Amino acid sequence: MTNQAATASALVLLADIGGTNTRVALAEGGTVRHDTIRRFANAAHPGLPAILATYLADLDVAGCAGACVAAAGLVQDGVAELTNLSWIITPDDIRMATGAASVAILNDLQAQGHALDRLAPTSLRQILPGARRPRDGARLVIGVGTGFNAAPVHRTPAGLLVVPSECGHSSLPLREEEDLRLARFVEAAHGFAGVEDVLSGRGLERLYAFCAQEAGQKAEYGAAEIMARIARGTDPVADHTCALFTRLLGRVAGDLALVHLPYGGLYLVGGVARAFTPYLTAATFGAAFRDKGRFSDFLDDFPVRVIEDDYAALEGCAAHLAAVMAS
């Protein structure tokens, strides 16, 4: 077997580290082995190396030829620092835990971008149709989960270019008097009203507390309970929270669409995005998305879809690592 063929068929490890859970899998020949996917609660482990060591021991795997990690945080000079977890991940950490010679570390939204060409049509749910005649162009992945972030995806002669960002920490857009009151409410706790402070799992909890205050109440619930209350439709505060969340998400997504011009589509991903999918209608999310004055009609060019595959980032890690190891 040639070195190139050996590399192509090598066993590699993939990990997707969110703010709450880490998903780990093996891949061979660039294909994710779905029977090897495991999920670990971050709070139960001191760091990623411990998770990887436990995972490989459980599957009786001595080592891997390569490893690719997607981390929900800033990646600089090959080192990841998670935004909502006090973990710092280095290539040496991954090599020590896996024995991998080839190591890659991506931002988690970059991994989602690398997965786009691998997604089955059945894993996508359309929210807004976009132009009647689809146009080639950039695509944009927007992550709404424990945190918030986005990454533009460009096709180039050298392959996919997925650009990292930390746009979840940009300022929350203000349009109405209620938005200003919300910003003041968030600032009282954090000193700054950022997008992630509202459009995320913990942001949803903060948003409910704000809506309760607006209603003259004082109530706080976890994100799961808030979603259950929204689904039941018997809690006016939850109904208001849902309407405000979808409006703000539409507005922020519309802003990002104007920045990146994703004619290839916007893709919402993450547990919170999936939970809100039934409420992202044209009349709520869509109206806020295209509420850009004289540029409103322009926003109709951009299709919006939700990625319903919870393991898409692992596919992106596999695709990126295969390209790295083949180069």
- Residue spans of the domains in the chain: they are 3-115+311-326, 121-308
With a cut of 50, say whether residue 220 has pLDDT above it.
Answer: yes
Backbone angles phi, psi at 272, to 5 degrees: -70, -40
What's residue 197's pLDDT?
96
With a cut of 90, say whether residue 140 has pLDDT above it.
Answer: yes
Cα–Cα distance measured from residue 228 to residue 295, given in angstroms and rounded to the nearest whole number: 36
With a cut of 90, say whether residue 133 has pLDDT above it.
Answer: no
Percent over 70 (pLDDT), the chain: 97
What pLDDT digit, counting tens, does each position of 68-87 carry? 999 988 899 999 999 878 89
Cα–Cα distance measured from residue 44 to residue 275, given in angstroms and rounded to the nearest whole number: 25
Torsion of CA 106, 108, 114, 120, to 10 degrees: 150
Q: Shortest CA distance to 160 belongs to which of 120, 201, 218, 110?
A: 110
With a cut of 50, say whether residue 146 has pLDDT above it.
Answer: yes
Mean pLDDT for the stretch of residues 88-109: 95
Contact yes or no for 245/204 (Cβ under 8 A): yes
In the numeric block, which tokens belong to residue 109?
Answer: 């939204």
Cα–Cα distance measured from residue 214 to residue 177, given in angstroms and rounded to the nearest whole number: 12
Give the pLDDT band (50/70/90) at residue 4.
very low
- Is the CATH code 3.30.930.10 the one for domain 3-115+311-326? no
With a cut of 60, say whether residue 107 has pLDDT above it.
Answer: yes
Mean pLDDT for the stretch of residues 121-131: 94
What's residue 85's pLDDT?
84
What pLDDT digit, counting tens, does each position of 263-317 carry? 999 999 999 999 999 999 999 999 999 999 999 999 999 999 999 999 999 999 9
Give the pLDDT band (50/70/90) at residue 158.
confident
What's residue 131's pLDDT?
83
Q: Which amino acid is at 147?
A: G
With a cut of 80, say whether residue 169 has pLDDT above it.
Answer: yes
Give the pLDDT band (50/70/90) at residue 189.
confident
The DSSP secondary structure of 20-34, one letter per residue, reads SEEEEEEEETTEEEE
Cα–Cα distance measured from residue 6 to residue 57, given in angstroms and rounded to the nearest whole number: 24
Q: Shortest CA distance to 83 belongs to which of 117, 42, 31?
A: 42
Mean pLDDT of the chain: 93
What's residue 2's pLDDT?
40
Mark out the alpha helices in the chain (DSSP H runs).
Answer: 3-8, 48-58, 91-98, 108-115, 177-190, 201-214, 223-232, 236-260, 271-276, 287-289, 312-326
In the numeric block, which tokens belong to residue 294?
Answer: 């004289």
In the numeric block, which tokens belong to residue 133?
Answer: 């005649």
Give the pLDDT band (50/70/90) at residue 9.
low
Contact yes or no for 13/64 (Cβ under 8 A): yes
Contact yes or no for 147/272 (Cβ under 8 A): no
Cα–Cα distance measured from residue 308 to residue 244, given in angstroms and rounded to the nearest whole number: 23
With a cut of 60, say whether residue 5 has pLDDT above it.
Answer: no
Tell me if domain 3-115+311-326 and domain 121-308 are identical in fold: no
Stated pTM of the model: 0.92
What CATH number labels 121-308?
3.40.367.20
Contact yes or no for 72/81 (Cβ under 8 A): no
What's residue 6's pLDDT?
47
